[in-house]
Structure 1
Amino acid sequence: MEHTHYSGGCVCGSIRYEALGPAENAHTCSCKTCQRHTGSPTVVWVEFAQERVKWVGAGGAPSVFRTSDYSSRAFCPTCGSSIGAIDDEPTIALLIGGFDDNNGAELAPLYHSFDDIRPRWWCLTPLTP
């Protein structure tokens, strides 16, 4: 099986990461924690096994803030950019907006979490290939 390499990071470049695919569980989410973490009504996540993500920037690993009994949100302590979530499973969910290239078909969300609390004006339209 061929593995895809993903890279990305924060606005200031201090936090950089490399992730080795496969990217798993690509989805959007509109829960209040995601909304507050990013300032956006909906986020797009993709998950990687923790051992497949390396923090390679000068800033090392991102700062984290515990947001639930199973997860912490990751962010850059310098510029404040949202990076993702580090779960206890151990899974790292990265926000694909931070990827250097986020156009891969494998990054298209498969489902939407917490659709019931997304703003009603936020229309979700499935992408057609």
Structure 2
Amino acid sequence: MTKVRTYAGGCLCGDLRFEATGPAAKPHTCSCRMCQRHSGALTTAWVEFPREAVRWTGPGGAPSLYRSSDYSSRAFCPTCGSTLGAMDDAPVVALVLGVFDKPGTKDLMPTSHSFRGARPRWWHVEVGAPPPAG
């Protein structure tokens, strides 16, 4: 029997916490202008879960939302302002990797990058397994 994986995380102040269960889908990085402005970083790392697989467990409940496009809203903590991810109209919650308690977990490792052309030329993004040491 396969054990269902549970991932946990939360915002900077701890008011918003979550648990996401099941396989992490589409781990990727993105350098589009919307992601850059939402996160304040040149590249954002994401992973997706079905909406029903994400439970908001902290005392603050669910995150605040900002409608950022015709198909998605950006999620953030109203207390500390932490970027948490995006809630798409399709029943998907995309969480940024930096809010996970264990962001280095192997199944959260990005395997693709979108909007590479939107990054500054001096900013290099690598996805996938790192080269072997030695």
Cα separation, 1, equivalents of 2:65 and 2:75: 4
CA RMSD of aligned residues (A): 1.0
Counterpart in the other structure of 2:130: 128
Counterpart in the other structure of 1:5: 6
Cα separation, 2, equivalents of 1:58 and 1:103: 26
Amino acid at match of 1:55: W
Identity %: 56
How far has the Cα of 1:128 moved from its partner? 2.5
Unpaired segments ≥5 residues, structure 1: none
Q: Following TM superposition, where does structure 1 have runs of at least 4 consecutive aligned residues deviating by more than 2 angstroms?
A: 125-129
Amino acid at match of 1:3: V
Structure of higher CA gyration radius: 2
Counterpart in the other structure of 1:24: 25
How far has the Cα of 1:125 moved from its partner? 2.6
Cα separation, 2, equivalents of 1:125 and 1:20: 27
Counterpart in the other structure of 2:85: 84
- Between the two proteins, the alignment pairs up a number of residues equal to 129
How far has the Cα of 1:105 moved from its partner? 1.1
Counterpart in the other structure of 1:119: 120
How far has the Cα of 1:2 moved from its partner? 2.5
Q: Using structure 2 for the length normalisation, give the TM-score.
A: 0.93
SS in 2 for 1:73: strand
Q: Using structure 1 for the length normalisation, give the TM-score.
A: 0.96
Counterpart in the other structure of 1:62: 63
Amino acid at match of 2:45: V
Cα separation, 2, equivalents of 1:125 and 1:25: 16
Cα separation, 2, equivalents of 1:119 and 1:42: 10
